Amino acid sequence: MKLCINSEYAPEYLKEAAEQYAEVWQINEAMFVHGRGHRKTTQQRHYEKLKEYAAKLEEYVEKIKICGEDRNSYSKTDHSATFMRIKTDYMGNDQLLPAYNVQVGVADEYIAVVDVNQYRSDMDCFIPLMNKFYTTYGFYPKYPVANAGYGSYNNYIFCEQQGMEKYMKFPMFKKETTDKKYHEDPFRAVNFPIWKDGIMRCPNGKKLQLPHRIS
């Protein structure tokens, strides 16, 4: 009996391996022993371990399928909900609970669009909300005003592509614009000078170059 050693396994492969193993050793599950005082044979231990791995792998596959590519958690009682850090309660305790991220877009003091997402970060909710606005009204808003929690490179690129003005601050905006200590710290990468040759250098004069250049 020959089996391939892989870096990844599918449940079907392990099930087939268990069936081949049972066929080679003529294993009869009805003859298996269980409980204290009974010594399992080597063949029974190996067969049961293969079945256990196959069952566990099937469980993992199902969980990954439920969770999807954009999440890393879900609630057992509500598969669509994602575990999120909820604001502190009246006792000052942080709460990690299954929840949804509800986004509301307001225009001229009227609610223009509402969206419900599974994303924990507001940053990831911006593009779906704008797309829903476009689906509803047939155009994108000219000035999408939002706080620094929505400012990201991807969102700025999206605004550029759809003809929207970039009215979201980035997360470090306040520090980089008003914090004098932060702005004048020579050892922060954002403050490293770029010399005439176009190369960034640290305060010790050492070159900082990308390991791979994009042509």
Domain ranges of the chain: 11-67, 100-168, 173-208
Residue 20 CB partners (closer than 8 Å, separation 6+): 1, 3
pLDDT of the residue at 140 = 97
Task: For 57-68, give one letter per residue: b (16+ CB within 10 A) or e.
Answer: beeeeeeeeeee
The number of CA neighbours under 13 Å toward the Cβ of 173 is: 11
pLDDT of the residue at 156 = 96
pLDDT of the residue at 95 = 84
pLDDT of the residue at 32 = 93
pLDDT of the residue at 212 = 62
Report the candidate in 169, 155, 179 with the shortest Cα–Cα distance to residue 191.
179
Residue with tokens 């601050």: 169
Per-block mean pLDDT, blocks of 10 residues, the chain (215 long): 86 93 93 90 94 96 92 93 86 86 96 95 96 97 94 96 93 87 87 86 84 58
pLDDT of the residue at 213 = 57
Q: CA 76, 78, 79: angle at the middle one, nearest 5?
A: 75
